Amino acid sequence: MRLTVRPDRLVAGGEAMARDDDGRVVFIRGALPGELVEVEVSLAKKDFAKGTVAEVIEPSDDRIDPQCYHRRMGCGGCGWMHIDAYAQLEAKTEIVRESLRRIARIDPDVVEGIVDMGASGEPFRYRTTIRVVGGPDGGLGFREEGSDTVVSVNSCEVAVQQLSDLLPLLTIQPGVEVTLRASVDTGGITARWAKPKGKAGTGLVSGIPEDVHIGDRGFLTEVVDGVTLRVSAGSFFQSGVGAAEMLVDAVRRAAPEAATAQHAVDAYGGVGLFAATVLAGASKVTVLEQSKSSCFDAEHNLAGRDAAVIRGEVGNWAASDEQPVDLVIADPARSGLGKPGVAALVTASPAPIVLINCDPVSLARDVTLLAEHGYHPERVEVLDIFPQTHHVETVTRFVVR
């Protein structure tokens, strides 16, 4: 079944939204606002439909040809490579605004006043961590968009060069996922993978050069904001050093109090990125993190500081009355703070709270939850640290009023 429609916006998740002749909402992968497109419908319900662009009849001025051969062959890693780089940031900013208007139900005039379009990272060669999967022929690749099918690749336009150059050397058993990470500082590389159920533990991956550090115990060092950080293979890190630098700058703008804070909390702190940089001037810092690997790195990165690294769920943490908290920086997973995270952090009664979100829908949900405790967004800065994809990062300053 095919439809001809003209989308009017891009929505969270990266699809364009249109309405058919009957007024039904149609979500379209690969379309841009204002275009006239023919859509191959893959899912049709009474209230909505989903599909993929089959033909662009009238293209948008923001449409470009993807420069990556693998993307043109269906690789799903860079779903927005057909959109001009500046237009990607504009679209992401509008998606954030729409989420705040529609989900958080903030007055449109207020939204216009608090949401700022920030910066974009380099459009190519920025990713220092990628995850590839073994294909049916023993090669490797990335999954096709919206599918488990593996599109074979021998390079990657958004990965740093040393990772892209490594790809043709590897042989990976079908279905095995391998996470590769490279250091911009030293050029070192780590590789880690898990044994899938039903497969032997040997011979899953071959062709790895001898100087690559294999397994969770491997680690690299990176320099962010002039600070050297240890990052283990099993620890979370941003999409690249450029992304980490952009976030540090944005959080510093959102929390000028960081320079003189007596006690600051870095919640979901990972390897201590913000504790080691933005909060370098804080008298005391507490890092809350669930990952054992990340906690190990954070302790190393904050050695010599008055710092406590607490391993566990943020929602289970309780602030001490003996050590009042005057600033919280929180960088949760894609699902956001949620009720447990909000409840734990607001109990500490900090002002402000600076929240980093990587999903505009979870941001809107957290805005609603924080408002119940008197915290309201004062400024939302939108960053594009994942160019060529629909993923969007926000840094929001919440104050009590």
List of residues 6+ apart from 144 with CB closer than 8 A: 74, 75, 76, 150, 151
Cis peptide preceding 377, ω within 30 of 0: no
Residue 198: the pLDDT is 64
Tally of CA atoms within 13 A in the half-sphere of 129 that contains its CB: 21
CA distance readout (Å), 148 to 37, 209, 306: 26, 28, 47
Angle subtended by helix axes 360-371 and 85-102, to nearest 10:
30
Q: At 3, which helix (H) or strand (E)?
A: strand 2-5
Q: Given this model, what pLDDT does residue 202 score?
A: 65
Q: Looking at residue 323, what is its pLDDT?
A: 82
| Residue 58 phi, psi (nearest 5) | -130, 100
Contact 30, 117 (CB under 8 A): no
Binned average pLDDT, 10 residues per bin, the chain of 401 residues: 94 95 94 96 93 96 95 93 95 97 97 97 96 90 90 96 96 94 97 79 86 93 98 96 98 96 97 98 97 98 97 93 90 96 92 95 98 97 97 97 85
By CB atoms closer than 10 A (0-12, 13-18, 19+), residue 176 is middle
What pLDDT score does 30 carry? 94
pLDDT of residue 1: 87
Give pLDDT tens digits for 37-58.
Answer: 999 999 999 899 999 999 999 9
**How do residues 173-196 score in pLDDT, each as one tens digit?**
999 999 999 999 999 999 999 877
What is the Rg, in whole angstroms, of the alpha carbon atoms belonging to the chain?
A: 22
Could you tell me the pTM of the whole model? Answer: 0.94
Domains, in order of start, for the chain: 2-63 (2.40.50.140), 129-218 (no CATH), 223-400 (3.40.50.150)
**In this predicted structure, what is the pLDDT of residue 342?**
97
Closest among 268, 261, 271 to 342, alpha carbons compared: 268
Bridge partners (DSSP) listed for residue 397:
354, 379
Task: Give the model's pLDDT for residue 199.
Answer: 66
